[in-house]
């Protein structure tokens, strides 16, 4: 089976990181198609992407075995699809109760944490602790998001016994990996169990590979660099 995964810049494309890490960590072979989108309003890029997805947005997974409509264009839909096609890989927890909880956590990530995601965009190659500290002291909604995330992870790690959220690596860990990057970049305060979990995530071969490639991109764009903006 020959998948192609269309992704954006590794330094900043948080939604692409999840399915990429999942496929790498699970050993699912795929061709990577990097779409540089240095201008978020670049019409040419959007038009090119519309050849594979009606939304013109990243990421996109293409599976030729799907026939005339081979694209899956939502990161959570991609993860669900891969779990269905590769049941032997146990991309979701095997236990039904745990699987339901894992799906709930991923859905919350998909629709929630808007303050944290918007005010701390993923930016792997820099360290922005001053921004993180300012947000902690000035934005209650941001703090609510961070506290919810920390409590969610801490509770789940206690339930599963670790080392990942549901014991072994699953879609849930891949789906939250961009949040680990944000906590690292902005030096956001978390509990010791959560910090240990983030360290284990960063040490995963797939995550380490993505991070190394992100740092080698070395493209500093003003709209991606909060520390450089007035």
Instruction: Please classify residue 196 by burial: count the beta carbons closer than 10 Å to its beta carbon, then call 0-12 exposed, 13-18 middle and 19+ buried.
Output: middle
pLDDT greater than 90 at residue 147: yes
Are residues 134 and 38 both part of a single domain? no
CB 29 within 8 A of CB 82: no
Are residues 74 and 100 both part of a single domain? no
What are residue 96's phi and psi, to 5 degrees?
-65, -40
Are residues 110 and 209 both part of a single domain? yes
Residue at 55 is within a domain: yes
Average pLDDT, the chain: 90
Stretch among 22-31, 42-51, 65-74 having the lowest mean pLDDT: 42-51
**What per-residue confidence (pLDDT) applies to 224?**
47
Residue 171 CB contacts under 8 Å (≥ 6 apart), including other chains: 22, 79, 83, 91, 92, 102, 106
Strands (E), the chain: 3-7, 30-34, 60-62, 71-72
Residue 192 tokens, joined = 């010791």
Domain tally, the chain: 2
Are residues 104 and 83 both part of a single domain? no
**What per-residue confidence (pLDDT) applies to 4?**
94
Residue at 7 is within a domain: yes
**What per-residue confidence (pLDDT) applies to 36?**
76
Are residues 25 and 130 both part of a single domain? no
- pLDDT bin (cut points 50, 70, 90) of residue 101 is very high
Are residues 102 and 198 both part of a single domain? yes
Are residues 80 and 147 both part of a single domain? no
Tokens 């995964």 appear where?
A: 5
Residue at 229 is within a domain: no
CATH for 61:
3.40.30.10
Q: Which residue range(s) make up the domain with 147?
A: 96-224
- pLDDT bin (cut points 50, 70, 90) of residue 2 is confident
Residue 103 tokens, joined = 């799906």
Q: Quick one: which of 75, 70, 80 has its CA closest to 58?
A: 75
Are residues 79 and 121 both part of a single domain? no
Are residues 58 and 14 both part of a single domain? yes
* DSSP conformation class of 187: T
**What per-residue confidence (pLDDT) applies to 230?**
33
């Amino acid at each position: 089976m020959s998948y192609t995964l269309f992704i954006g810049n590794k330094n900043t494309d948080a939604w692409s990181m999840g399915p990429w890490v999942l496929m790498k960590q699970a050993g699912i072979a795929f061709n990577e198609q990097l779409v540089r989108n240095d201008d978020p309003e670049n019409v040419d890029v959007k038009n090119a992407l519309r050849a594979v997805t009606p939304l013109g947005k990243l990421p996109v997974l293409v599976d030729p075995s799907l026939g005339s409509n081979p694209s899956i264009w939502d990161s959570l839909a991609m993860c669900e699809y891969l779990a269905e096609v590769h049941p032997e890989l146990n991309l979701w927890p095997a236990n039904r109760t745990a699987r339901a909880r894992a799906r709930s956590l991923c859905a919350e990530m998909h629709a929630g944490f808007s303050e944290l995601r918007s005010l701390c965009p993923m930016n792997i190659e820099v360290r922005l602790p001053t921004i993180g500290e300012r947000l902690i002291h000035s934005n209650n909604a941001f703090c609510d998001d961070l506290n919810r995330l920390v409590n969610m992870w801490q509770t789940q790690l206690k339930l599963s016994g670790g080392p990942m959220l549901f014991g072994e690596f699953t879609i849930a860990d891949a789906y939250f990996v961009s949040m680990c990057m944000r906590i690292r970049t902005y030096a956001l305060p978390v509990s010791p169990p959560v910090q240990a979990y983030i360290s284990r995530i960063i040490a995963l071969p797939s995550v380490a590979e993505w991070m190394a490639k992100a740092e080698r991109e070395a493209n500093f764009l003003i709209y991606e660099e909060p520390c450089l903006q007035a």
